[in-house]
Structure 1
Amino acid sequence: MSSAGRVRARSGAPRWFVVWMSFLTCVVALLCVALCWELASLGDQFTKVLLWVGLSVVSVVALFFGLIGLVRYHTIQVSLAVPLLIIALAALVWFEAPQDAGWHVSRGILEDQSIDCVNPGRHTRLGVYAVTAVTVRDGGCLFYVQGTSENSEGFAYFPPESAPPSPGAPVERGVEYWQYDGRWYRFVDSS
């Protein structure tokens, strides 16, 4: 029996298949991690769309080869790795775990910065968030974490002695606040 025949007999699948599926699984895992980071850090929409498209394409290819592996080579572990990663990612996204983790990692840093509420004058990273500006407005400290030409959004901290003006009230132009976590509010600035 040749050495290639022995490898196939032991693992149930040819070596190229195991290497290919391992590669696809690693790519899917990296895309899942990158997507979780973008969700946690409130990254830009374009990057999220690219990651979702890339993940979809690689996952479809991996699922196709996984089905071949299940039917032809009976490789359960290698073939089911990608579907399990996708299910885990779906659960994390459904329960907003990346966003919650990003907030819990960043909250203390943002609270420390809200004491002075000084704009660093440039884009900076506070926790996992890329902060584009810091400003005092309506009695609170606003951290702008993402924005477009029309709207900017972020986190606002209001000390116990103040609160945002009419939180949650719809506004046409200005800042709309809604309760997020304790003294913290999310906001959208459309001014």
Structure 2
Amino acid sequence: MSTTRSRARARIPRWFVLWMGLLAALVAVSCSALFWQLAAEGTLPTIVVLWFVLGVLGAIALLFGLLGLLRYRAFFYSLVSPLLLGVLVALVWFDIPEATGWRLSRPILEDQAADCANPGHRTRLGIYTITYITSRDGGCLFYTQAHESNSGGFAYFSDPATPPHIGPPATNGVEYETFEGHWYRFVEHH
């Protein structure tokens, strides 16, 4: 019986093991990069490119995985990449990257909100790239890199009262949305 198992393992060609290992490494790096971009509220073009890369890598992994399963019975090598992709999709589905980014960045954002001083240049607070900080409507607004075209980000209001309004403004202005505690998400309409 042990000779049958060793023959089955010996039939898996070395090129297949190396190729699937390389493919799994590329998928793992791409998944990590996408997780980081989602957590740090990266730019939309970067996120789209990473999803595209993962789609291409996933299609390749599926094709070679089917080959490995049907021809070589290489379950482990064939299933690593699809499993990594499945884990990433589940994490994204449950908003784990965004929640992780917020948990890592909230304390430093709260410290910065006390002064609400614009450093005059892009800065990194926690894992977010902040393009601008300003006082407005009685709160402190942090414009993030992800919202450069829409002018949006996080707003902190230390007063228990909410911002002047929740939802879209009647005319051009800032749209606030409840986020967590004294924190709000905002989009500035021009």
Q: Report the TM-score, using the length of structure 1 for normalisation.
A: 0.91
User: For the residues of structure 2 that align with 1:23 and 1:144, how far apart are their CA atoms?
Assistant: 39
Please tell me whether the aligned partners of residues 38 and 48 of structure 1 are also in contact (alpha carbons under 8 angstroms).
Answer: yes
CA contact (8 A) 2:65 2:79 kept: yes
Residues 50, 172 of structure 1: alpha-carbon distance in 2 compared, 3 angstrom cutoff? farther
Structure 2 Cα separation of the partners of residues 101 and 110 of structure 1: 14
CA RMSD in angstroms, aligned pairs only: 1.5
Aligned equivalents of 2:127 and 2:170: distance in 1? 29
Residues 124/8 of structure 1: CA separation in 2 closer, same or farther (3 Å cut): farther
Mind listing any 5+ residue stretches in structure 2 that lack a counterpart? 1-5
Mapped to 2, the partners of 1:11 and 1:165 lie a distance apart of 70
Alignment correspondent of 2:112: 113
Letter in 1 for 2:61: A
The match for 1:35 is 34
TM-score (norm 2): 0.92
Q: Cα–Cα, structure 1 residues 128 and 171, in superposed 2: closer, same or farther, change >3 Å?
A: farther
CA offsets 1:34-77 (integer angstroms, 9 cap, x no match): 11111111111100110011110111011101110001110001
Q: Which moved more, 1:164-173 or 1:104-113?
A: 164-173
Distance 1:98 1:15 in 2: 36
In structure 1, give the amino acid aligned to 2:129: A
Taking the TM superposition and a 5 Å limit, the aligned residue runs for 1:5-24 are: 10-24=9-23
State the alpha-carbon separation in 2 of the partners of residues 126 and 8 from structure 1: 56
Q: Would the aligned equivalents of 2:160 and 2:182 in 1 still touch at CA under 8 Å?
A: no
C-alpha change, 1:138 and 1:11, in structure 2 (3 Å) is farther
User: CA shift at 1:173, angstroms?
Assistant: 1.1
Q: Give the deviation of 1:137 after TM superposition.
A: 0.3
Q: Number of residues paired by the alignment?
A: 184
CA contact (8 A) 1:156 1:186 kept: yes
Q: Does 1:122 align with 2:121?
A: yes
Contact 1:140 1:163 (C-alpha < 8 Å) held by counterparts: no
Distance 1:172 1:92, change over 3 A: farther
Deviates more, 1:154-163 or 1:44-53: 154-163
**Amino acid paired to 1:125:** R
Hey, what's the Cα distance between the residues in 2 that align with 1:41 and 1:11?
45
**Percent of aligned pairs with the same residue?**
54
Does the aligned pair in 1 maintain the 2:143–2:153 contact within 8 Å?
yes
Q: Which residue of 2 aligns with 1:145?
A: 144
CA displacement at 1:8 relative to structure 2: 7.3
Q: 2:7, 2:23 → 1: CA distance?
A: 20
Q: Distance in 2 between matches of 1:167 and 1:123?
A: 28
Are the aligned partners of 1:12 and 1:75 in contact in 2 as well (CA < 8 Å)?
A: no
Residues 17, 170 of structure 1: CA spacing in aligned structure 2 closer, same or farther, 3 A cutoff? same
Q: How big is each residue's C-alpha offset from its partner over 1:131-170, in whole Å with a ceiling of 9 and x where there is no partner?
A: 0000000000000003344x21100000125431111244
